[in-house]
Amino acid sequence: MAAAAGVKRRALLIGALLATLLPLGPVTPAQARSVVDSTGRQVEVPDTITRVFAAGPPANVFLYVLAPDKMIGWGRAPRDEDKPFLLPAARDLPELGRLTGRGDTISIERLMASHPDVIIDFGVTSDTYRSLADRIQSQTGIPYLLIDGRFENTAAALRLLSDILGVRERGEALARAAEASFAEVDRVVASVPISARPRIYLARGIDGFETGSRGSINTEIIERVGAINVVEGVRDTGGIARVSPEQVISWAPDTIITMEPAIYRAIMERPEWQVIPAVKQRRVILAPNQPFGALDLPPSVNRLIGLKLLLHKLYPDKVSSDLRRELREFYRLFYQVEISDADLQRFIDAIGN
């Protein structure tokens, strides 16, 4: 009887000790909050977020611009020539791989081993991406946020994610800058008759014959600057496509834009390009691609500087702002680096201003 009472007392003591070690209620409500992403998904995220995994290249740029101190790595490590245009603390972060884009390159095991507080994706928010987000979140237990990456949604996206990440002041500054850029575009484009707007071909890939069809997130900048994307009939609306020299010749663009010096040289030198009006008129624009493409590659907030570049190049008599100053201020605000006079001059020379 006494032995049984002793066992009972020990059990009660152990139970009391365990009660002091265990939380008084479920962990999630005390340590998390509920947020709503761009698709309307309600996601539980930690109160304080310090480690963020970007699901693909657009999200990587978006996160770097907004909260570089919360990055845990790159989907693809920056090239050596890109690193001077990035913050020292971010430029040498590890290459982790990606969940979205042209094939996933990170395993679930490595993703979990990197211990992110949240996963973000920035770009298309279709059912396909929503399904992926739900699946990864279910498999890993890591909150997965989808942010609408349409160009027009840039300011709203900056405000949404900055609020979630706790960097509201920076997000507001960036959002206002984005709104100012779009407002300037609207002002300029409104003064240009449709008949006078340029017909543009975006040259990508290894040879310039990869491009984006009308409606593609990769060519949004063309339509947003009031121009006409000549690429049609290669596939349904949107997406990247391979095209032939004959197709480009038949579209007869009066302007070609690219971000790759090798493609620019090929366009200016190879015979198959010489019959195209843009080449005959020397209207081939080489936009900066450091640290990210100014027009695309990836289609993220880096495209905002492409708007300013195209406005100056396409409508020079309609723009009174100083492109040098705008370039310098963009790199300072968005990329948080000071661009050198030599690099600034190189960019200006390349686009022909």
Adjacent-strand bridge partners of 7: none
Do residues 304 and 334 make contact, with C-beta atoms less than 8 angstroms apart?
yes
Residue 227 has pLDDT above 90, yes or no: yes
Answer whether residue 90 is part of any domain: yes
pLDDT at 19: 40
Same domain for 204 and 89, yes or no, is: no
Residue 6 has pLDDT above 70, yes or no: no
Answer whether residue 313 is part of any domain: yes
Residue 27 has pLDDT above 50, yes or no: no
Same domain for 118 and 209, yes or no, is: no
pLDDT digits (tens, 9 = 90+) for 192-208: 999 999 999 999 999 99
- Centre a 10 Å sphere on the Cβ of residue 80 and count the other Cβ atoms it contains: 8
The last residue of one of the domains, among 119, 145, 174, is: 174
Same domain for 112 and 225, yes or no, is: no
Omega within 30 of 0 (cis) for the link into 291: yes
Residue 353 has pLDDT above 60, yes or no: no
Q: Is the dihedral of CA 341, 346, 348, 353 positive or negative?
A: positive
pLDDT at 164: 98
Note the pTM of the prediction, 2 decimals: 0.88
Same domain for 212 and 337, yes or no, is: yes
Same domain for 47 and 144, yes or no, is: yes
- At 16, the pLDDT band (50, 70, 90 cuts) reads very low
Same domain for 223 and 300, yes or no, is: yes
The last residue of one of the domains, among 140, 174, 208, is: 174
Residue 78 has pLDDT above 90, yes or no: yes
Q: Which of 55-59, 212-216, 230-234 has the highest mean pLDDT?
A: 55-59
Residue 84 has pLDDT above 80, yes or no: yes
Residues in the chain: 353
Answer whether residue 52 is part of any domain: yes
pLDDT digits (tens, 9 = 90+) for 325-336: 999 999 999 999
Q: In the Cβ-directed half-sphere of 256, how many Cα atoms lie within 13 Å?
A: 29
Lowest mean pLDDT among 49-53, 95-99, 114-118, 214-218: 214-218
Mean pLDDT of the residues in the chain: 90
Same domain for 124 and 68, yes or no, is: yes
Q: What is the mean pLDDT of residues 253-281?
A: 96
Residue 237 has pLDDT above 90, yes or no: no
Q: Is the dihedral of CA 115, 49, 89, 298 positive or negative?
A: positive
Same domain for 197 and 343, yes or no, is: yes
Q: Is the dihedral of CA 178, 179, 183, 186 positive or negative?
A: positive
Residue given tokens 């063309």 in the structure block = 222
Nearest to 49 by CA among 66, 32, 65, 64: 32
Answer whether residue 71 is part of any domain: yes
Do residues 248 and 275 make contact, with C-beta atoms less than 8 angstroms apart?
no
Residue 17 has pLDDT above 50, yes or no: no
Do residues 304 and 330 make contact, with C-beta atoms less than 8 angstroms apart?
yes
The last residue of one of the domains, among 121, 143, 174, is: 174
- Centre a 10 Å sphere on the Cβ of residue 49 and count the other Cβ atoms it contains: 18
Percent of the chain with pLDDT over 70: 90
What is the C-alpha to C-alpha distance for residues 44 and 58, in angstroms, rounded to an integer? 23
Answer whether residue 14 is part of any domain: no
pLDDT at 243: 94
- Count of structural domains, the chain: 2
- Domain with 250, as residue range(s), is 191-351
The CATH number that applies at residue 276 is 3.40.50.1980
Do residues 60 and 90 make contact, with C-beta atoms less than 8 angstroms apart?
no
Same domain for 313 and 206, yes or no, is: yes
- Three-class SS string for the chain? CHHHHHHHHHHHHHHHHHHHHCCCCCHHHHHEEEEECCCCCEEEEECCCCCEEECCHHHHHHHHHHCHHHECCECCCCCCCCHHHCCHHHHCCCECCCCCCCCCCCCHHHHHHCCCCEEEEEECCCHHHHHHHHHHHHHHCCCEEEEECCHHHHHHHHHHHHHHHCCHHHHHHHHHHHHHHHHHHHHHHHCCCHHHCCEEEECECCCCCEEECCCCHHHHHHHHCCCEECCCCCCCCCCEEECCHHHHHHHCCCEEEECCHHHHHHHHHCHHHCCCHHHHCCCEEECCCCCCCCCCCCCCCCHHHHHHHHHHHHCHHHCCCCHHHHHHHHHHHHHCCCCCHHHHHHHHHHHCC
pLDDT at 238: 63
Higher per-residue confidence, 24 vs 216 = 216
Answer whether residue 239 is part of any domain: yes
pLDDT at 235: 66
Residue 24 has pLDDT above 80, yes or no: no
Same domain for 112 and 195, yes or no, is: no
Same domain for 137 and 202, yes or no, is: no
Answer whether residue 12 is part of any domain: no
Lowest mean pLDDT among 14-23, 95-104, 280-289: 14-23
Answer whether residue 117 is part of any domain: yes
pLDDT digits (tens, 9 = 90+) for 98-154: 999 777 789 999 999 999 999 999 999 999 999 999 999 999 999 999 999 999 999
pLDDT digits (tens, 9 = 90+) for 162-176: 999 999 999 999 999
Same domain for 48 and 162, yes or no, is: yes
pLDDT at 292: 97
